[in-house]
């Protein structure tokens, strides 16, 4: 099974190839060049391209399928392409593509995913599922469930980031917590990162690829083109074969198995972290006990729970101190919001109880 091959591969398992198949020569020569790098285990090329605007290049369609299949034959590597409807599935299977992938704009639509899954009932083929364009973990999991229910068990996840309006850095924001949560829910599913579509910028490919490896992703899908500036789609993010090779060599590969002395060092630090975390939770519990006390005072004196002015002052003080604690303002803001919400819940709890008591007393 593909998923076992990925899970057992000495990372990263790399899938590479052009965004779109443009000519036979482009597909076959690019694939042969990248197949020379040991990490490359699968070839990609877009045959049907889901483009945002109708006047963009929408892929050559099935005439280009044999080029990808031939590149696979010449290199001995598996091939993959995106399918977005049952016609694509039928043609890709007929041509002999080894692995199908579901694009982000398809995962978002349960009707489309269901139709594709139904059309694959009884077919033994691996399917890779990209995250939906919107940051919705359940929708992504739902797509896995639809394929599983159709009897397809060789499934792989691809993280390609999430749509956002005018992000200063990324084409699609990574929201790393979502693929991490998917791994928690579906531990047997390998996770591949697609830094090309996350960044939309070839200069950022290395940093995002490295981040994925540091987060224990199983592999990478990277768009490679012989002359990226002349590509028919996704020009800014495609990378030349040589630069792709340089990127692979620049990646720091983290070891899977720890040396015993490193393991010991880590265990020691982890213990300290656990002790600190215990203290943080005890403090939070104490903090909420005080919130309840505060709730009672407010209740007895008929004061609103939310004291906006007081809260804003506290918040700003802490935000100002963030840097001196070595914490980001975003983290401090999220943490204080969470504490504040929990505190309001505790204050409301004591008030409700007292109201109930009032009712029974009278």
The answer to whether 3 and 126 have CB atoms below 8 angstroms apart is yes
Helix (H, G, I), strand (E, B) or coil at 60: coil
- DSSP string across 73-130: HHHT-EEEEE--SHHHHHHHHHHT-SEEEE-HHHHT-HHHHHHHHHHTTT----EEEE
- Distance, in Å, from the CA atom of 244 to the CA atom of 37, rounded to the nearest integer, reads 9
For residue 197, state whether it binds ligand PEP (rule: CB under 6 A): yes
Convert residues 50-69 into a mask of x (bound to ligand PEP by CB under 6 A) and - (unbound).
Answer: x-------------------
HSE-CB for 92 with a 13 A CA cutoff:
29
The runs of H, that is alpha helices, within 301-328 are 308-321
Stretch that binds Mn ion, among 11-19, 24-32, 91-99, 117-125 (CB under 5 A): 11-19
Instruction: Report, in Å, the least distance between residue 133 CB and ligand PEP.
Output: 7
For residue 225, state whether it binds ligand PEP (rule: CB under 6 A): no
Report DSSP state, residue 355.
H
Contact positions with Mn ion (CB under 5 A) in 82-111: none
Stretch that binds ligand PEP, among 5-13, 99-107, 240-248, 274-282 (CB under 6 A): 99-107
- The helix (H) or strand (E) run that includes residue 43 is strand 40-44
The answer to whether 101 and 130 have CB atoms below 8 angstroms apart is yes
For residue 46, state whether it binds ligand PEP (rule: CB under 6 A): yes
Helix (H, G, I), strand (E, B) or coil at 140: helix
Residue of 15, 19, 60, 198 interacting with Mn ion (CB under 5 A): 19
Q: Which residue sits closest to ligand PEP, CB atoms considered?
A: 103
Instruction: Tell me the sheet residues that pair with 80.
Output: 44, 99
For residue 160, state whether it binds ligand PEP (rule: CB under 6 A): yes
For residue 6, state whether it binds ligand PEP (rule: CB under 6 A): no
Cα dihedral sign, 176-182-188-193: negative
Instruction: Report, in Å, the least distance between residue 93 CB and ligand PEP.
Output: 19
Closer residue to ligand PEP in complex, CB, 131/347: 131
Contact positions with ligand PEP (CB under 6 A) in 124-153: 130
For residue 194, state whether it binds Mn ion (rule: CB under 5 A): no
As a dihedral over the C-alpha atoms of residue 96, residue 141, residue 254, residue 243, rounded to 10 degrees, the angle is 50
Closer residue to ligand PEP in complex, CB, 146/171: 171
Residue of 6, 19, 68, 150 interacting with ligand PEP (CB under 6 A): 19
- Distance, in Å, from the CA atom of 83 to the CA atom of 102, rounded to the nearest integer, reads 6
Give the residue carrying structure tokens 């080029």: 67
For residue 88, state whether it binds ligand PEP (rule: CB under 6 A): no
Q: What are phi and psi of 202, to 5 degrees?
A: -60, -25
Distances (CA, A) of 229 to 57, 236, 318: 15, 7, 47
Residue 224 binding partner per list Mn ion, ligand PEP, none, with a CB distance cut-off of 5 to 8 Å that depends on partner kind: none
Closer residue to ligand PEP in complex, CB, 65/350: 65
Instruction: Report, in Å, the least distance between residue 103 CB and ligand PEP.
Output: 3
Length of the chain: 362
Closer residue to ligand PEP in complex, CB, 129/350: 129
Stretch that binds Mn ion, among 12-20, 99-107, 155-163, 273-281 (CB under 5 A): 12-20
Closer residue to ligand PEP in complex, CB, 46/241: 46
Report DSSP state, residue 36.
T
For residue 17, state whether it binds ligand PEP (rule: CB under 6 A): no
- Distance, in Å, from the CA atom of 222 to the CA atom of 215, rounded to the nearest integer, reads 17
Contact positions with ligand PEP (CB under 6 A) in 265-284: none
Distances (CA, A) of 220 to 156, 216, 224: 12, 11, 12
For residue 158, state whether it binds Mn ion (rule: CB under 5 A): no
Instruction: Report, in Å, the least distance between residue 353 CB and Mn ion.
Output: 57
Residues forming contacts to ligand PEP in the complex (CB under 6 A) are 19, 46, 50, 103-105, 130, 160, 197
Residues forming contacts to Mn ion in the complex (CB under 5 A) are 19, 234
């Amino acid at each position: 099974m593909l998923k076992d091959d990925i899970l057992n591969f000495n990372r990263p398992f790399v899938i590479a190839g052009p965004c779109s198949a443009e000519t036979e020569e482009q597909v076959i020569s690019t694939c042969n060049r990248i197949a020379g790098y040991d990490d490359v285990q699968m070839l990609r090329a877009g045959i049907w391209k889901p483009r945002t605007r109708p006047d963009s290049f929408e892929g050559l369609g099935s005439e280009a399928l044999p080029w990808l299949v031939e590149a696979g034959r010449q290199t001995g590597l598996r091939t993959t392409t995106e399918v977005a409807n049952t016609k694509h599935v039928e043609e890709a299977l007929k041509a002999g593509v080894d692995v199908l992938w579901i694009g982000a704009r398809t995962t978002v639509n349960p009707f489309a995913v269901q139709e594709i899954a139904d059309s694959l009932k009884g077919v033994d083929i691996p399917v890779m599922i990209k995250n939906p364009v919107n940051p919705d973990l359940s929708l992504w999991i739902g797509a896995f469930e639809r394929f599983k229910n159709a009897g397809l068990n060789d499934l792989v996840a691809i993280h390609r980031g999430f749509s956002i309006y005018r992000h200063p850095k990324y084409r699609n924001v990574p929201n790393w917590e979502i693929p991490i949560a998917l791994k928690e829910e579906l531990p047997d599913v390998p996770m591949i990162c697609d830094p090309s579509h996350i960044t939309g910028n070839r200069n950022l490919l290395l940093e995002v690829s490295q981040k994925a490896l540091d987060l224990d992703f199983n592999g990478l899908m990277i768009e490679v083109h012989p002359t990226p500036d002349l590509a028919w789609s996704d020009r800014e993010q495609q990378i030349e074969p040589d630069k792709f090779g340089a990127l692979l060599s620049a990646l720091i590969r983290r070891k899977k198995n720890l040396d015993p002395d490193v393991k010991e060092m880590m265990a020691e630090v982890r213990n300290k972290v656990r002790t600190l975390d215990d203290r943080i939770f005890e403090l939070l519990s104490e903090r909420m006990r005080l919130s309840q006390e505060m709730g009672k005072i407010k209740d007895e004196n008929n004061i609103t729970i939310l004291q906006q002015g007081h809260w804003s002052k506290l918040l700003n003080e802490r935000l100002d101190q963030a840097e001196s604690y070595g914490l980001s303002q975003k983290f401090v803001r999220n943490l204080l919001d969470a504490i504040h919400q929990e505190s309001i819940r505790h204050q409301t709890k004591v008030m409700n109880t007292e109201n109930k008591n009032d009712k029974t007393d009278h």
